[in-house]
Amino acid sequence: MSRKTDMLKDKDFLELAARKNSISLTLTVIELVVYFGFVFLIAFNKPFLSTKITPDITIGIPIGIGVILLSWVLTGIYVRWANSKYDSMVEKIKEKIGA
């Protein structure tokens, strides 16, 4: 029990938790703003989304695809961060506590 208590007070662990929370919150807020922005466009500005950019495609289609692609990009950003920063910080903490 004391090893767990010591880890929760460890400076490196607290920094790891703060960084993870920071990037998770930032990426989540970006995704929510984009997603709900698109939903609000659907709800309140249908004429804009129904504007044709070609005879068969409206502006809403590329915007919807963009929302999906942005989700993938944000996931990729998190994975890259986790692989390059988070994992090494976790390993450092594990070595420190002997796990």
* pLDDT surpasses 90 at 2: no
- What's the whole-number mean pLDDT along residues 47-51? 93
Phi/psi at 51 (5° precision): -65, 125
pLDDT at residue 7 above 80? no
**How does pLDDT run across 51-99, given as a tens digit for each residue?**
999 999 999 999 999 999 999 999 999 999 999 988 888 888 888 777 6
Domain boundaries, the chain: 2-97
Is the pLDDT reported for residue 1 higher than 60? no
Question: Taking residues 22-47, what's their average pLDDT?
Answer: 96
Average pLDDT over residues 26-31: 97
| pTM reported for the whole predicted model | 0.81
